[in-house]
Amino acid sequence: MTQRIYLPGLTRRGLLTGAAGAATLVAVPGLRSPAIAQKAPLKVGLMLPYTGTFAKLGQFIDDGFRLYVEQKGGKLGGREITFVQVDDESKPEAGTDNMNRLVGREKVDVVVGTVHSGVAMAMVKVARDNNTMLVIPNAGANDATGPQCAPNIFRTSFSNWQPAHPMGKVMFDAGHKNVVTITWRYAAGAESIASFTENFTKAGGKVVENLALPFPEVEFQALLTQIATLKPDAVFCFFAGGGAVKFVKDYAAAGLNKTIPLYGSGFLTDGVIPAQGEAANGLKTTLHYADNLDNPENKAFLAAFKAKTKQDGDIYAVQGYDSATLLDIGLSAVGGDDKAREKLVDAMAKAKIKSPRGPLSFNKAHNPIQHIYLREVKNGRNEFVKIAHENLDDPSRGCRMA
């Protein structure tokens, strides 16, 4: 059954969907009388962007999460799931209020969110203050699994440090010695550029200019003119979603792709190649996923995602799917009883997942350890080139969890 209700006070609209009902009596084979074997459904708050430049990313995380739950008959760890859905619009200034409403008014048991690093850090603070279980299915803010790490906070995606880091060596080895970087001026952009720079300069390269514009602006022309004047060997960038579509098209329209190769974290091209069209051809990026990864989990996932949504899956859909997988592992270890917190967290921390992205496990800060792939846009897909860094862990600097 699907119920939709308006939640007054939410920034956009809230939807309650999924199974309804309270504790039910079920007959257990072998017992003479029915036993109370089920708790009330577990209430999952999905706090994601459903509008704005990251709208498609949020929707695909949502679709991926729900796909896994559907495959498990509407349950995780044997426990019925209901959803409360909030559009965070990628607005950090509304992050605390949205999270407080989910935790306070809606009394969700678990929050899954979000995409934008700034919004995620607001969520992390509330989750720490209230000891709410939080699974981050995208936002890479280093601090979430750094100084702000906590037993009740898990990330199934990446730290901003991770996908950008191997690209420093990849670009230096490709013969690029002088590079310009460009991004949005916010945590994910700054941390991606810093991580790339760390590895690129270690290899012997030089960053000649760091260019930036406010999030989520897309007026790139003045900065593209600067790149043309600087004539670097190559450009490294961080953009995602709608902004990535516009940047790649503008870069090609300015003719820069013919003389100055463009590289990026894989968010530059993941999930957006159809919108970028020919301008994306040949772009090389690093990420913890490639569309044509040759493993059974990826093949099954892409087929199931297509059957459900009629669309091609991407890393965001995978991250949503893996967030549900991780919760399933935790809840299965406690028979669906999320109040058995210590055991739940322990099972999640020790999880070893055969993800569509390849092997996925977690470090002491609850951040993924995973392969980072070099990919190239060919045939309208992010095609696997090689593993750029095998089982890359995150430094999780400042995390004090044992």
Looking up tokens 């013919």 gives 258
Decide: is 195 part of the binding site for ligand BEZ (CB under 6 A): no
| Ramachandran region, residue 396 (left: φ > 0; alpha: ψ -120 to 50; beta: rest) | left
Task: Give the range of 1-9, 137-145, 252-260, 335-343 binding ligand BEZ by CB under 6 A.
Answer: 137-145
Task: Give the range of 24-32, 138-146, 245-253, 332-340 binding ligand BEZ by CB under 6 A.
Answer: 138-146
Q: Please report how close the Cβ of residue 330 comes to ligand BEZ at its closest, in angstroms.
A: 24
> Closest Cα to residue 263, out of 334, 173, 170, 201?
170
Decide: is 44 part of the binding site for ligand BEZ (CB under 6 A): no
Non-local (6+) Cβ contacts of 379 within 8 A are none
Sign of CA dihedral 156, 243, 172, 146: negative
SS3 229: helix
Q: Please report how close the Cβ of residue 188 comes to ligand BEZ at its closest, in angstroms.
A: 3
Decide: is 377 part of the binding site for ligand BEZ (CB under 6 A): no
Q: Please report how close the Cβ of residue 178 comes to ligand BEZ at its closest, in angstroms.
A: 26
Decide: is 116 part of the binding site for ligand BEZ (CB under 6 A): yes
| CA–CA distance, 255 with 275 (Å, rounded to integer) | 18
Q: What single-letter DSSP state applies at residue 389?
A: E
* 172/316 with CB nearer ligand BEZ: 316
Strand 368-378 and strand 358-362: the pairing is: antiparallel
Non-local (6+) Cβ contacts of 97 within 8 A are 11
First to last CA, the chain: 43
Strands (E), 102-228: 110-112, 133-136, 153-155, 178-184, 206-213
Task: Give the range of 16-24, 135-143, 324-332, 348-356 binding ligand BEZ by CB under 6 A.
Answer: 135-143
Q: Please report how close the Cβ of residue 228 comes to ligand BEZ at its closest, in angstroms.
A: 27
Q: Please report how close the Cβ of residue 75 comes to ligand BEZ at its closest, in angstroms.
A: 30
Decide: is 115 part of the binding site for ligand BEZ (CB under 6 A): yes
Half-sphere exposure of 81 (CA within 13 A, CB side): 27
* 155/176 with CB nearer ligand BEZ: 155
Burial class (CB in 10 A: 0-12, 13-18, 19+), 200: buried
Looking up tokens 């996923």 gives 289
Q: 131 and 117 in contact (C-beta within 8 Å)?
A: no
Q: Please report how close the Cβ of residue 195 comes to ligand BEZ at its closest, in angstroms.
A: 12
Task: Give the range of 139-147, 302-310, 360-368, 392-400 binding ligand BEZ by CB under 6 A.
Answer: 139-147
* 240/399 with CB nearer ligand BEZ: 240
Decide: is 139 part of the binding site for ligand BEZ (CB under 6 A): yes
Decide: is 188 part of the binding site for ligand BEZ (CB under 6 A): yes
Q: Please report how close the Cβ of residue 96 comes to ligand BEZ at its closest, in angstroms.
A: 17
Binding residue (CB under 6 A) for ligand BEZ from 59, 98, 117, 276: 117
Binding residue (CB under 6 A) for ligand BEZ from 267, 301, 305, 321: 267
By CB under 6 A, name the binding residues for ligand BEZ. 54, 115-117, 138-141, 188, 240, 267
